[in-house]
Amino acid sequence: MKQKEILLNTQEMNNQHEETGDNHAGFSLETPLREDAFELDDELKIELIAKHFKEIMQIMGLDLTDDSLKGTPHRVAKMYVKEIFSGLNPANAPDVRLFENKYQYKNMLVEKSISFHSTCEHHFVPIIGKAHVAYIPNGKVVGLSKLNRIVRYFARRPQVQERMTIQIANMLKDTLGVADVAVLIEADHLCVASRGVQDASSKTVTSEYSGKFLDMKTREEFLSYITLNHSKE
């Protein structure tokens, strides 16, 4: 009887959340985290995740005594904590150092086609894409690799693409101390390609513009740069 009650409760919960998940709705600008999210250290998180993932594999009927599978729970747990979800922890935020704009460069600076791998928070399957970011410097500039690191920091967590786009733009504005920032992301969502509608050809595009990029002429200049030689990439 207890097993039947568990199954009924699980089915009811699934029915409540299935529609929201398929609609890919986002409700929070910040990644949803509990207040105690970082009370456990990484090693304990890996140990606990491995334990629970082992149970998932057993429920699916997999033979964990097989040489190919017996190390999988620990590998998955370590990957979650140390790699693909490492962006959840603010301690892993990139150390972005600013430099004096000695060249007095005042035109648009664009870093395009920044590759990233993220994870859809509704189905925990990959989001694979490219981000294009730009800013117009004032008194300070940032090392180019730091733009890549900012993108990948926010990608390495369960995500919604709209939220990720805004998070990147906000960090750039806060770090650079300028409002003139643009972010455009184009990505493939495996939750669309491999399940549900199973459309492997569509892409999702999101953008965030602020400051001078709200001007259509400036925005068009940015868009012309990110499509420059696009056919050769």
Contact 109, 141 (CB under 8 A): yes
Is residue 189 part of the annotated active site? The answer reads yes
Q: Could you say which of 111, 123, 167, 208 is catalytic?
A: 123
Other beta carbons less than 10 A from residue 31's beta carbon: 17
In sequence order, what are the residues at sequence separation of 6 or more whose Cβ sits closer than 8 angstroms to the Cβ of residue 89? 38
Beta bridge partners of 134: 110, 182
Is residue 123 part of the annotated active site? The answer reads yes
Other beta carbons less than 10 A from residue 204's beta carbon: 15
Q: Could you say which of 111, 132, 191, 208 is catalytic?
A: 191
Q: Could you say which of 122, 132, 159, 208 is catalytic?
A: 122
Is residue 191 part of the annotated active site? The answer reads yes
Q: Could you say which of 111, 132, 167, 189 is catalytic?
A: 189
Q: Could you say which of 111, 121, 167, 208 is catalytic?
A: 121
Eight-class DSSP state of 28: -
Q: Could you say which of 159, 161, 167, 208 is catalytic?
A: 161
Strands (E), 30-165: 98-100, 109-120, 126-135, 140-142, 158-159
Is residue 122 part of the annotated active site? The answer reads yes
Tokens of 58: 């057993």
Q: Could you say which of 120, 132, 159, 167 is catalytic?
A: 120
Is residue 24 part of the annotated active site? The answer reads no
Catalytic sites, residue numbers: 120-123, 161, 189, 191
